[in-house]
């Protein structure tokens, strides 16, 4: 009996230690899949083909600026998991980026477990991570020193800055269908520099995710090119931060506030100095205003 108690105690200690170790696994926002020479357009098409073969649906793609291509992808696990949590729709699509630097093309993608935890989803999207790795490869995670799942689920950059559940609500409509219709119309008009890239509908839930491109028609501070020129300055590019998203949840139009959305992609970015948040200090409000007006809300809506 004493031996049994000791054995059970040892097993429990081992399980606790294993659990503690798992909690300390550091996750990073992006995965560098491959680096090789070649033509960007050809590699983009080959990447799309590989993703489709691996069971992903291509939601859309665009080139936000020279030598860069972004592909939005989704699958059953992403949509199904996204539908199970409040505003989980933000995680209904992953982003794949191809960037050509001199003679080298970098292929990278958003790290599913990182974003699943950042968006407080009910699962960790390990199946999607494995499929992305099988389709595109995996050299290393990058983009931060790393955060644990627990840290990501309660993340905010600094005191007074927004958490995941403190997103913007721009406008509400009489029905979900009217809210979606209003966003579609605003994106099609593109009056405020915000245009549609893709749309992902969640199964069994009145929630729709739009990927949107942003051009500084009225204010360069909300421009994709301007923002990334200031903050995406390292040798391995974090272009898969783009694009921004609009989420229609039931009758209301939402978007993550930029002080969360940018910071969760660049959690190690310094507050002051060169290539810092100080350089884009006016961008969060510029983004909020452009998205609010596009969604049919007011400029000062918060």
User: Could you tell me which of 232, 249, 244 has the C-alpha nearest to residue 286?
Assistant: 244
Q: Is the whole model's pTM more than 0.75, yes or no?
A: yes
User: 187-205, pLDDT tens digit by residue?
Assistant: 999 999 999 999 999 999 9
> Are β-strands 30-37 and 252-255 bridged in parallel, bridged antiparallel, or unpaired?
unpaired
**DSSP labels, 35-94:** EEES-HHHHHHHHHHHHHHTT-EEEEEE-SSTTEEEEEEE-HHHHHHHTTSTTGGGGS-E
Residue 196: CB atoms within 10 Å: 19
Using CB atoms within 10 Å of the CB of residue 280, give its burial: 0 to 12 exposed, 13 to 18 middle, 19+ buried: buried
User: 85-105, pLDDT tens digit by residue?
Assistant: 999 999 999 999 999 999 999
**DSSP labels, 167-228:** -EEEEE-SSHHHHHHHHHHHHHH-TTSEEEEEEEEPTTSSEEEEEEEE--SS-GGG-HHHHH
Domains of the chain: 27-155+162-294 (3.30.310.70)
**Per-residue pLDDT at 9 exceeds 60:** no
pLDDT for residue 22: 46
Contact by Cβ (8 Å): 296, 186: yes
pLDDT for residue 273: 85
User: 226-283, pLDDT tens digit by residue?
Assistant: 999 999 999 999 999 999 999 999 999 999 999 999 999 999 999 988 888 899 999 9
Sign of CA dihedral 214, 222, 290, 81: positive
30 SS3 class: strand
pLDDT for residue 29: 98
Report the C-alpha gap between 53 and 113 in whole angstroms: 22
**Per-residue pLDDT at 23 exceeds 70:** no
**What would the two tokens of residue 58 be?**
């291509």
**Per-residue pLDDT at 19 exceeds 70:** no
């Amino acid at each position: 009996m004493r031996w049994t108690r000791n054995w059970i105690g040892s097993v429990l200690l081992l399980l606790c230690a294993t659990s503690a170790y798992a909690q300390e696994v550091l996750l990073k926002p992006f995965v560098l899949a491959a680096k090789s020479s070649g033509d960007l357009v050809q590699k983009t098409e080959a990447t799309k083909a590989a993703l489709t073969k691996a069971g992903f649906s291509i939601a859309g793609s665009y080139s936000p600026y020279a030598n860069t291509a972004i592909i939005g992808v989704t699958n059953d696990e992403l949509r199904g998991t996204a539908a199970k949590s409040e505003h989980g729709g933000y995680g209904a699509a992953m982003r794949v980026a191809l960037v050509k630097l001199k003679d080298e093309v970098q292929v990278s993608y958003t790290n599913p477990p990182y974003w699943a935890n950042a968006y407080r989803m009910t699962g960790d999207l390990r199946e999607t991570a494995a499929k992305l790795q099988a389709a595109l490869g995996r050299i290393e995670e990058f983009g931060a020193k790393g955060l644990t799942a627990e840290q990501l689920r309660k993340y905010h950059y600094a005191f007074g800055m927004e958490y995941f559940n403190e997103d913007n609500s721009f406008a509400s409509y009489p029905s979900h269908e009217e809210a979606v219709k209003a966003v579609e119309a605003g994106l099609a008009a593109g009056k405020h520099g915000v245009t549609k890239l893709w749309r992902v509908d969640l199964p069994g839930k009145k929630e729709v995710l739009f990927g949107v491109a942003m051009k500084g028609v009225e204010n360069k501070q909300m421009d994709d090119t301007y923002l990334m020129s200031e903050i995406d300055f390292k040798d391995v590019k974090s272009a898969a931060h783009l694009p921004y998203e609009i989420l229609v949840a039931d009758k209301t139009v939402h978007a993550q506030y930029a002080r969360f959305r940018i910071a969760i992609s660049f959690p190690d970015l310094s507050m002051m100095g060169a290539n810092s948040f100080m350089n884009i200090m006016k961008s969060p409000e510029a983004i909020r205003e452009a998205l609010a007006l596009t969604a049919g809300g007011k400029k000062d809506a918060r």
